[in-house]
Structure 1
Amino acid sequence: MAGDPPSRVTSLDVARRAGVSQSAVSRVFTPGASASKRTVEKVRKAAEELGYRPNVLARAMITGKSRIIGLVVAYLDNHFYPLAVERLSVELQRQGYHVLVFMASNTIGDVQSVMQEILDYQVDGIVLASVSMSSVLAGRCDDLGIPVVLFNRTQPDPRLASVVTDNHEGGRQIAHHLVAGGAARIGYIAGFEGASTQIEREAGFLEGLDEAGARLEFRGVGNFQHETARAAALEMFAGRDRPDAVFVCNDHMAFAVMDVLRAKLGLDVPGDVAVAGFDDVPIASWAAYDLTSFRQPLDAMVSRTVEVLMERIADDAVTPRRHTLQGELVRRSSTRPTEDRA
């Protein structure tokens, strides 16, 4: 009848048009499945002519595999994470997976709510970038056979794999660099106190200061947020007794600190205050900041994360473990020149 919706094109229709079996059509549209070049060409041509689109959800119900990865992220205002999300998504798509991105804050309740939504999609794996999860949720994922990889975070749970930069070593190298540049009154602006990245970077920084015969004189908390970091910088530097060098736990906050020092307080960087950050996001190299920063090996972190996830999807007997990659201190004009190579 006029106005009736068109009937849905099925894989059987495509098989008949292409002159192949229905299973051949299924193989063509299943990532990683084997099909000859000629078969692929015939099936793709028939599918295009008929307007066929494979039903991913129906296939998931049959195979038990959704080919979907859940990616949970916070702090998208921090330039490190949009880059990470983009590159993780591209690499997972190359592996034949669809990526669903979910936003969450660092509160356990919010992460738990988001995780429940992710599990409803019957995902094959989960990547948590910049957030942690409760032991209850970790156990549930483990029971369901869903591997979880923490990206740029760790937590003491043997069921969770993780991929991180050596944050401790990064903090240590920054301490040596600042002291070698003549810093005598040294400050630190922390990130979110519960984050493993914050904890490890500060621990490494304190160890490096001790090794160099210096100590931390000033401390503020920026919570990885631009405005909070600005407030912390105003409080730390407003008086006469102020640092002559400061390590800020990530670049996103370091930019806010530099803006306060120069635009609000009229201080010279690095003449009055040397500033170092962490991540080495692209903006760090811009002339406006030219920020000394400890570079996270983002491409290597993404590759290792996807590799670990694929291994665990293929074999749930693979033992989850922590993967720590080496970064690099990139010296720029926001700190005083030195000959140190610590």
Structure 2
Amino acid sequence: MTTPRKVTSLDVAKRAGVSRSAVSRVFTPGASVSDRTATKVREAANALGYRPNVLARAMLTGKSKIIGLVVAYLDNHFYPTVLELLSEALEREGYHVLVFMAAHTAHDIEDVVGQILDYQVDGLVLASVALSSDLANRCRASGVPVVLFNRKLEAEGELAVVSDNRSGGRMAADHLVSLGRTRIGHIAGWDGASTQRDREAGFVEGLHAAGLGMFAREVGDFRLPRAKAAARRMFDTSDRPDAVFVANDYMAFGVMDVLRAELGLRVPEDVAVVGFDDVPSAAWPAYDLTTIRQDAEAMVTITVSSLLAEIGGSNVTPPDPLPVRLVRRGTA
């Protein structure tokens, strides 16, 4: 069985009785073409099963209408939600999203971003990944705007969309102190992330304001198995905390599973738990997790508007951190 020959724009032009350039204009957003010609070309294209080559068009126009999105992990429920919101928002603006997975090390990100630039993307969104200043400058030198999502570098002129993580950490501490908890621990995420550093800094500030110090600290690295191991080390002892602030909801779910199913502890009677993000599953009755809510929709809206403004050549002022709020549920 032979493979059918691929339909080209020349085939469409012959069938529609127009020039090849007219076919190109019909499938180029914003190009000038008469309604009569557009109708003839689209009817011919549908009849032949023709689809324009987007990457080839990008070589001619310099615009691919593709946004590269680099994410470190999708097992954290916050990021599938963000990915869906970003894709929908960009598609409304005529763009498509090309997703790349990467570890959260700067070296790995350099390799991945190098690959993405080969696709002539119009812009990049880096979600919760490390990014060196040199790499950010390299992207800008290539004419590719970059927005960091849920991370920041503290570099001059960077576009980073983040929540007020420091205030969120402070809220977690204040809430646990208000419940009368005094032996309060922390299960941290990846120490290389600005989100982790800011959340912990605010948490420690809140404890110190109440005359307390951090009772115990372990690192879960934003990974479920490591968060569970951290919970075992922290709580499988007679001198355990009576409360814990976990750096995100995803890890908090694993911590709660260890507390209840493995160690036989009651939440919140024996241990109060506070997470961070307010992913949809935090409200499930099985967890009913008290947490600090990030406004994912607002973060995505600002990310898209900032990125498109940069692509359009505007100078964009780096946005302020977005406010967060405490969502009280049954774990604290």
Query: What TM-score comes out, normalization by structure 1 length?
Result: 0.90
State the alpha-carbon separation in 2 of the partners of residues 205 and 88 from structure 1.
Answer: 30
SS in 1 for 2:321: strand
* Cα displacement (A) at 1:13: 4.5
**Could you tell me which of 112, 117, 120 is aligned with 2:118?**
120
Instruction: Give the 3 Å change call, closer, same or farther, for CA 212–83 of structure 1 in structure 2.
Output: same
* Cα displacement (A) at 1:91: 1.7
State the alpha-carbon separation in 2 of the partners of residues 104 and 153 from structure 1.
Answer: 15
SS in 2 for 1:165: coil
SS in 1 for 2:63: coil
State the alpha-carbon separation in 2 of the partners of residues 233 and 202 from structure 1.
Answer: 17
* Cα displacement (A) at 1:98: 2.2
Letter paired with 1:326: P
* 1:107-256 alignment runs, 5 A limit: 107-256=105-254
Q: Which residue of 2 aligns with 1:76?
A: 74
**Could you tell me which of 321, 324, 327 is aligned with 2:321?**
324
Letter paired with 1:225: R
State the alpha-carbon separation in 1 of the partners of residues 322 and 112 from structure 2.
Answer: 28
Letter paired with 1:9: T
Instruction: Give the 3 Å change call, closer, same or farther, for CA 270–304 of structure 1 in structure 2.
Output: same
Instruction: Give the 3 Å change call, closer, same or farther, for CA 41–165 of structure 1 in structure 2.
Output: farther
State the alpha-carbon separation in 1 of the partners of residues 37 and 179 from structure 2.
Answer: 66
State the alpha-carbon separation in 2 of the partners of residues 265 and 229 from structure 1.
Answer: 15
The answer (yes or no) to whether the contact 1:9–1:51 under 8 Å persists in 2 is: no
- The answer for unaligned runs of 5 or more in structure 1 is 336-342
SS in 2 for 1:182: coil
* Cα displacement (A) at 1:45: 2.4
The alignment's C-alpha RMSD in Å is 2.2
Per-residue deviation, residues 11-43 of structure 1 (Å, max 9, x unmatched): x55456456665554344234556677665544
Aligned residues: 332
Answer yes or no: is 1:6 the counterpart of 2:12.
Answer: no
Instruction: Give the 3 Å change call, closer, same or farther, for CA 36–191 of structure 1 in structure 2.
Output: farther
Letter paired with 1:65: K
Instruction: Give the 3 Å change call, closer, same or farther, for CA 145–4 of structure 1 in structure 2.
Output: closer
Answer yes or no: is 1:334 the counterpart of 2:331.
Answer: yes
Letter paired with 1:202: E
* Cα displacement (A) at 1:181: 1.1
State the alpha-carbon separation in 2 of the partners of residues 259 and 184 from structure 1.
Answer: 23
The answer (yes or no) to whether the contact 2:133–2:153 under 8 Å persists in 1 is: no
The answer (yes or no) to whether the contact 1:73–1:131 under 8 Å persists in 2 is: yes
State the alpha-carbon separation in 2 of the partners of residues 32 and 237 from structure 1.
Answer: 61
State the alpha-carbon separation in 2 of the partners of residues 7 and 298 from structure 1.
Answer: 42
State the alpha-carbon separation in 1 of the partners of residues 33 and 254 from structure 2.
Answer: 54
State the alpha-carbon separation in 1 of the partners of residues 25 and 70 from structure 2.
Answer: 30
Instruction: Give the 3 Å change call, closer, same or farther, for CA 5–120 of structure 1 in structure 2.
Output: same
Q: Which residue of 1 aligns with 2:283?
A: 285
**Could you tell me which of 292, 297, 307 is aligned with 1:299?**
297
Per-residue deviation, residues 183-225 of structure 1 (Å, max 9, x unmatched): 1111111000010000010111111222334332111111101
Letter paired with 2:225: E
SS in 1 for 2:215: strand
Answer yes or no: is 1:88 the counterpart of 2:74.
Answer: no
The answer (yes or no) to whether the contact 2:7–2:48 under 8 Å persists in 1 is: no
Letter paired with 1:226: L
